[in-house]
Amino acid sequence: MERTGFKNVILFYMYKHFFKRIIDFSLALISLVILSPLFLIIMIILLLTGEHYVFYFQDRYGYKNKKFKIWKFATMLKNSPNLGTGSLTIRHDPRVLPFGNFLRKTKINELPQIINVLIGNMSIVGPRPQVESDFLKFPKQIQKTIYNVHPGITGPGSIIYRDEEKYISEAKGDKHEFYKQYIAPYKGELEIWYQKNISFYTDLKLVILTAWVIVFPKSNLVYKWFKDLPKP
């Protein structure tokens, strides 16, 4: 038992600090090549519509709480952070551009983060990188530990809060306070759970589940596949 436990610890360490990065880089490079025609079409549409800009760069918290620039396709007005609900997006948000609405619903707007994975400041799977105002809504202990792994394009928090806009839109009163009191604590628990259960099979399941919930957004399959996942 002790030998098996030691072997599992070694495998956990090797995957977390070595193999995960190799897999991330390889998948990101392959994905970028395959998706390049789609990227080109989207870039042309964005240049011809909305405010005529393609990418949106924003400071986010990353590994060991160091900030980096996240890549996204532009979906909202340039001055969105200073308008309406600021860092939080609600249903039918007037700041979202028409084509941007399609990109957000399909999650295509997140695909440029493949470049962040290639650079090395993001992973395919991990806690979502937060802007400062939302990061500070996490409980203090979560703030200290949530980015002990690289942030990801997807993860348990992204899957369960796939329609976060709906929860925020339906919240009564101050929406930022609602996020702080209800969403941030549970989302933090999910990301800490991920750190304790990180493995190739966990990552593979989360990638499959990400595609699954885009097609079946009301599915709770994630709780069936991960029975020890923290409950809301």
Distance of alpha carbon 4 from the chain centroid: 33
Average pLDDT, the chain: 89
* pLDDT digit string, tens, across residues 99-108: 988 998 888 9
State residue 6's pLDDT score: 67
Q: What is the pLDDT of residues 170-199, one digit of tens each?
A: 888 888 899 899 899 999 999 999 999 999
pLDDT score for 212 = 93
Helix axes 20-48, 200-215, angle to 10 degrees: 30
Beta strand residue intervals within the chain, DSSP E: 55-61, 67-73, 123-125, 152-154
Q: Tell me how far apart the alpha carbons of residues 179 and 20 are, in angstroms, rounded to a whole number.
A: 31
Partners of 152 in the β-ladder? 123
Burial 23-60 (b: 16+ CB within 10 A, else e): bbbeebeeebeeeeeebeebeeebeeebeeeeebeeeb
